[in-house]
Chain A
Amino acid sequence: MSQQRILVVEDETNVRELEAEILRGEWEHVDTAVDGTDALRLLAEHVYSAIVSDLAMPKLDGRGLYEEVERRWPAVQGRLVFVTGYAEAEEYDEFLRHAGVPVLAKPFRMADLLGAVKRAFSPA
């Protein structure tokens, strides 16, 4: 088990628990947040090696989270991975092109999620 800490941000309970469970198979420290606001609270407390976030969420969505991270912890911005349904990807198309954050489409295979997180540790 490595010492890397990962944050999962997802409003859908089942998806959030699943992602955390998959990631806990590889890494010991996996935290979960129910939306962008909850994620900001945890980001203020810990340094994360990767942040896996949904795009469409109540309160603060993935775009809002990206902007806050850019403003407050610019070094962490390159560790973001968005996980999103195809439908939302259309809605956030322009933002995603501009942000250049890796996007994993739901539903994903386990290996895809693990691979995306590993790449986020050392962004190109």
Chain B
Amino acid sequence: MSRIVDQAEFRYRELVESGRGLICTHDMAGTLLSVNRAAADRLGYLPVEMVGRSLADFLAPSVRPMFGQYLDRIAHQAADEGLMLVITRAGEERIWTYSNVRGQDGSGEAYVLGHAQDITDLKRSDARALEAEALRSVAQLALATAHEINNPLTVIIGSLQLLLARGQISPETAHSLERVIRAAEQIRDTVRNMSRITRLELSRQSPTLPDVLDLRKSSAPRA
């Protein structure tokens, strides 16, 4: 009978220790009580290096201030779930989705059992799909705009050149007309660049202005 119990316990330990799921326990102050190998591996540590430290130490600095709110939630409700941004020993930020539950150990002490999955790659491919969709919309808009702008621009540039070619104007007027033609040709070049958009490059013109699409970068061939 004891051998069967031992085997069951061994299998149970293996499930936690060798399974691919990211599992930990921590006390109500957030100090790690145990970490399975998969979770420690993901972060670039040994389980023994993590136990005794605060879970907050392994969160990305940008989300660390929210750790207190998490501890409040898990202290008042039986469970909490969401996304956490962790940081590996090498400094890489990874996105984990977690589902944690509060329990009691044999002595009645409350603790939290945490279970997480690394969804960084999934999130990144979602982001790439979103960018591709945005790129398609921008490119369609650019083509439609180019179509509408080219005809009036043809008339502006061509008519000014006709005026110049007739030669019945003063040198000053001719100089001004040349300047307008150059400006119109700048519009032409911008419209052509818009039609060649192959990726989205946002540039911040000034801290007070919203991000804008940088047409020179977006339409340049990818290096």
- A87 engages B147 (CB within 8 Å): yes
> How far in angstroms is the closest Cβ of chain A from B103?
62
Provide the main secondary structure of the chain A interface. Answer: helix
Which stretch, B30-38, B158-166, B207-215, touches the partner chain A? B158-166
Partner of A87 from the list B143, B154, B159, B185 (CB cut-off 8 Å) is B143
A106 touches B195 (CB 8 A): no
Are the C-beta atoms of A85 and B158 separated by less than 8 Å? no
Determine the distance from Cα of A108 to Cα of B192 in the docked complex, in whole angstroms: 13
Evaluate contact between B151 and A25: CB separation under 8 angstroms. Answer: no
- Return the CB mask of A6-22 against B: 1 if under 8 Å, else 0: 00000010110011011
In the complex the two chains form, is B146's CB within 8 Å of A86's CB? yes
| Nearest opposing residue in chain B for A19, CB measure | B158
What per-residue 1/0 map shows which CB atoms of A109-120 lie under 8 Å from chain B?
110010000000
Tell me, in angstroms, the Cα distance from A90 to B194 when the chains sit together: 13
B106 CB within 8 Å of chain A: no
Contact of B154 among A56, A88, A106 (CB under 8 A): A106
Interface residues of A in 21-80 (CB under 8 A from B): 21-22, 25, 56
Cβ of A107 within 8 Å of any chain B Cβ, yes or no, is yes
**Chain B nearest CB: distance from A121 CB in Å?**
21
B90 within 8 A of A: no
Q: Contacts of A87 on B, CB cut-off 8 Å?
A: 143-144, 146-147, 150, 195
Complex: how many Å from CA A14 to CA B152?
8
Q: A21-B162, A87-B195, A90-B195 are in contact. Are A109 and B157 (CB under 8 A)?
A: yes
- 20 A/B residue pairs, CB under 8 Å, sorted by A: A14-B152, A15-B155, A18-B159, A19-B158, A25-B162, A56-B147, A85-B147, A85-B151, A86-B192, A87-B143, A87-B144, A87-B195, A88-B147, A90-B195, A106-B153, A106-B154, A107-B156, A107-B158, A110-B162, A110-B165
A interface with B by C-beta (< 8 Å): 12, 14-15, 18-19, 21-22, 25, 56, 85-88, 90, 106-110, 113
